[in-house]
């Protein structure tokens, strides 16, 4: 009787340990397992973005197609932003919320990405005044961080055309980045707002 | 469970150790390349989107 009980407890212990190891492995996969795939996608998007035909007024990008280049000097990171925020799109790169403004437009150019080392892992390190550059085929739009905040996933007003007064008409050119918070969890969102500081046409430089 | 597997493995301790390592690698690879890629979209623990997510 005692021996049977000991064996059952032993078995349960092994199962729990195994589950723990599995979870740690899965977390590691979430952080690093997708990096290679992401990098290959980003390389491909970079080529597409820089070699496609240069239209004066490019048509709206379709789902998962490149929208702009996003550059964050403080984090030493640069990505090609794709259209859409579906899981499929966010696997390839940061995703542009489809209903929001384009880079440089009055309104809110809003972009979401995973909180993984490939993307917005260190987004919380951004400070007021830091540059965030959104680059289209023709122009470099330099934004400066104005505010960082933590919200619940339901607070869609952060991507409103006017995030300071949701619902009111948009007056300024804003850029908003969203990612999950805290790291490796899913119950809050880290949001960074930035405002356009200057537009530099590329041909002129 | 693991004791049971260890006793089933043929050969001496060295062979058993080698076989265990092989089995571990195989299970790890299966998880990393097949099971996790399948499970990841179902368990989005790093979702960064605000609003009603699809």
Give A44-55 as a DSSP string.
HHHHHHHHS---
B47 with A180: Cβ contact below 8 A: yes
The answer to whether the CB of A112 falls within 8 A of the CB of B48 is yes
Distance between CA atoms of A184 and A181, rounded to whole angstroms?
A: 7
Model pLDDT, residue A174 = 94
pLDDT winner (highest mean) among A51-55, A152-156, B8-12, B16-20: B16-20
Cα separation values, A32 from A67, A115, A182, Å:
25, 12, 18
| Region A36-201: CATH code | 2.40.260.10
To test the contact with chain B by mutation, choose from A180, A181, A184 the residue with the greatest count of B C-beta atoms within 10 A, namely A180
Kindly report the pTM of this predicted structure.
0.82
At residue A57, the pLDDT reads: 52
Tens digit of each residue's pLDDT (9 = 90 or more) over B1-54: 888 899 999 889 999 999 999 999 999 999 999 998 888 877 766 677 877 643
Predicted confidence (pLDDT) at residue A156 exceeds the cutoff of 70: yes
- Residue A58 has a pLDDT of 58
Find the CB nearest B46 among A85, A86, A180. A180
In chain A, which residues have their Cβ closer than 8 Å to the Cβ of B31?
A: 22, 25-26, 29
The yes-or-no verdict on residue A61 having pLDDT over 80 is: no
Give B37 to chain A, closest Cα distance, Å: 8
Q: Which residue of A has its CA nearest to B40?
A: A30
Stretch A150-177: mean pLDDT: 90
Nearest to A159 by CA among A195, A196, A114, A193: A193
What pLDDT, on the 0 to 100 scale, is given for residue A27? Answer: 86
Q: How high is the pLDDT of residue A32?
A: 85
State residue B21's pLDDT score. 95
pLDDT at A56 > cutoff 80: no
What are the residues facing A72 on neighbouring strands? Answer: A77
Can you give the pLDDT at residue A54?
60
Does residue A73 surpass a pLDDT of 80?
A: yes
Q: In the A/B pair of chains, how many CB contacts fall below 8 A?
A: 77
Cα A150 from Cα A164, distance rounded (Å): 14
Q: A129 pLDDT exceeds 70?
A: yes
Tell me whether residues B50 and A184 touch, CB distance under 8 A: no
Number of Cβ within a 10 Å radius of residue A153: 19
> Is residue A131 a contact partner of residue A143, using CB atoms and an 8 Å limit?
yes
Residue B54 has a pLDDT of: 39
Boundaries of every domain in chain A: 1-33, 36-201
Going by DSSP bridges, is the β-strand pair A131-135/A188-201 parallel, antiparallel, or unpaired? unpaired
Mean pLDDT for chain A overall: 88
Name the H helices within chain A: 2-28, 35-51, 87-92
- Residues A15-35 have pLDDT tens digits of 999 999 999 999 888 888 888
């Amino acid at each position: 009787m005692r021996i049977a009980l000991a064996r059952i407890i032993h078995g349960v212990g092994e199962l729990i340990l195994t589950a723990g190891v599995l979870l740690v492995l899965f977390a590691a996969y979430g952080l690093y397992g997708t990096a290679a795939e992401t990098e290959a996608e980003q390389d491909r998007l970079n080529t597409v973005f820089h070699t496609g035909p240069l239209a004066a007024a490019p048509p709206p990008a379709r789902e998962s197609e490149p929208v702009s280049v996003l550059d964050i000097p403080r984090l030493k990171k640069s990505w090609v932003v794709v259209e859409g925020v579906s899981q499929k799109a966010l696997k390839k790169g940061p995703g542009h919320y489809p209903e929001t403004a384009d880079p440089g437009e009055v309104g809110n150019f809003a972009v979401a990405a995973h909180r993984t080392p490939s993307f917005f892992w260190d987004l919380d390190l951004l400070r007021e005044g830091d540059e965030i550059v959104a680059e289209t085929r023709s122009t470099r739009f330099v934004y400066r961080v104005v505010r960082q905040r933590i919200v619940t996933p339901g607070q869609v007003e952060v991507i409103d055309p006017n995030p300071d007064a949701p619902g009111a008409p948009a007056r300024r050119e804003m850029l908003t980045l969203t990612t999950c918070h805290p790291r490796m969890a899913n119950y809050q969102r880290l949001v960074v707002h930035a405002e356009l500081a200057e537009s530099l046409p590329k041909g002129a430089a | 469970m693991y004791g049971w597997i260890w006793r089933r493995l043929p050969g001496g301790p060295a062979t058993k150790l080698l076989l265990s390592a092989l089995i571990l690698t195989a299970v790890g690879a299966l998880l990393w390349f097949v099971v996790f890629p399948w499970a990841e979209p179902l368990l989005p623990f790093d979702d960064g989107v605000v609003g009603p997510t699809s």
